[in-house]
Structure 1
Amino acid sequence: MDTVRFEDDKVLMIDQTKLPNELEYLELESVEEVAIAIEELKVRGAPAIGVSAAFGLLLASKEGDLEVLEEAADRLRRTRPTAVNLFWAIDRVMDVVDRSGDWQKAVEKEAKSIFMEDREINKRMGDNGADLLDDGDTVLTHCNAGALATSGMYGTALGVIKRAVERDIDIDVVCTETRPVLQGARLTSYELTMDIGVDTTLIVDSAVGALMPKIDKVVVGADRVARDGVANKIGTYNIAVLADRHGVEFYVAAPKSTFDEELTIDEIEIEERSETEIKQICGCQIAPNKVKAYNQAFDLTPAELIDGVITEDGVTEL
């Protein structure tokens, strides 16, 4: 599953707003198109956003004008504030411009390196996480942290599950629907059943407490790992509290590029999205227009609720 790739001077990416009903690839030819795709969640997940931003800069570099490239970097930085991979990838590409005689070739090499490294990192992360799972485990995951949240193939939290399945570790998976835009129902259950092929049960978000006594491990992704906790999809903190209450191990799977150890979790900027995402489901109005809705996209889980962070280098504590 190639979530995003660069081909024939275009950024090709799966339109994740169409899943699971339709698998459609977008062909993006401008930085503005890439930026809009990130803002509209056509591509989402911290690593996938980072790769997409790098490829957006590669598109801009084809103009041969450094000012255009800098404007492109500024536009991409304004798309989504919480996922640190976005800024990490942009900074990494822009840093090579100042250190290279042929900056266009340097941008292309760096963007493609970010893409290839993401795939290798996710596989190593999956191996490290699979070591934590045992035959007979029931594993709970939240939102989508699979191949669709990265450049493709493995993913972060679902990469752990996929590597466990490839090792013939017998596990069952429970995934939350993940309101308000249903990344768990639309994307995670799609990957788990269609790509990974593991016994999967979908539950509503509010069923987590009732099901937690039957869960053995929780594995989720992260959009930013601070020195004292993580920011991840709204609802993650609820799950961590419930896991702690029931003595269930709670793990975060995140590449080192997601770490931002200069910040505490209280200093992370949390994205607030449109009220429409709550008032509608798949275009169907479910609440009156006059009611106010608060749509915080991420929440913060402190380190004391996290048993370990699974990275490409091993499992670490915060």
Structure 2
Amino acid sequence: MNKIAQFQEAEIIDGRAHAEDVRREVREKAAKMKATHGITPGLAVVLVGNDPASEVYVRSKGKQAVDAGMNSFEFRLAESTTRDELLCLIERLNTDPEVHGILVQLPLPKHLPSTLVINAIDPRKDVDGFHIANVGMVGTGQDAIVPCTPLGCMLMLRAYHPDLRGKTALVIGHSNVVGKPMARLLLNADCTVMIAHKSSTNIPELARLADIVVVAAGVPGLVKADWIKPGATVIDVGINRVPAPELGLQEDSSARTKIVGDVDFNGVSRVAGAITPVPGGVGPMTIACLLANTLSACCHLSGIDDSPFQID
């Protein structure tokens, strides 16, 4: 499948096609691992409470893990679960030889400290890449489990720009989940990296200098066409639900909204050289990279030198 389709002047980076390639490689390597070593990678997902969006994500992660030939373990805990109860479960998963990846679905209920919970996970099984040990190793350029969304962004960038050295990159947003690790990965790739955030006063000026713009601000349509250097590559991580009155007044209120990114796609796609759409860009890569991280964790824990994905 062609991963870059023509649309107006910009090339569209097809995240769905990239994600299918990642899933295919994971399936093949998982099958080989089972046939050769008798090991099936296992992903454990822990959901506390009944947040509707989290429920959807957990179901999707479990289904895709099974489709990739992995074991999927789901643990659904009550909203009232205590810190000690959750930590006890994590410790049990840390020592379970059938579990190679552990993901605690965020956000957690307010009474549960997410930092403490994340850092209780064995860093070798931390397939979200949020443990302080993995954060530190990524930041210092060492081999580590990379957060799924930045990993997906880098894989797509590498497909479009095999050599990132010397390119100027701007990351808009400095969250621990996307912005900061994305900036570290770009820096590790020898880009010249700038980071902008809600307190920055000159974001358009910075964007006009950038060969690569990665946007993860959570602001619908933030980045405009006149911010973008002609020919730049734009990676839109934003996922925002906004009103869509043009869809009519259906009885179902959700049918009157649509998903958009942090980039004014129609305008920016006339200036950029390549751009990810929303939906269909970064989103599909996130779960695909979760599967890749689980397979890599299984390889490392089992002493098998067959990790699937490199971004160096």
Query: What band does the TM-score fall into relative to the shorter chain?
Result: 0.3 to 0.5
- Greater relative contact order (Cα < 8 A, sep 6+): 2
TM-score (norm 1): 0.32
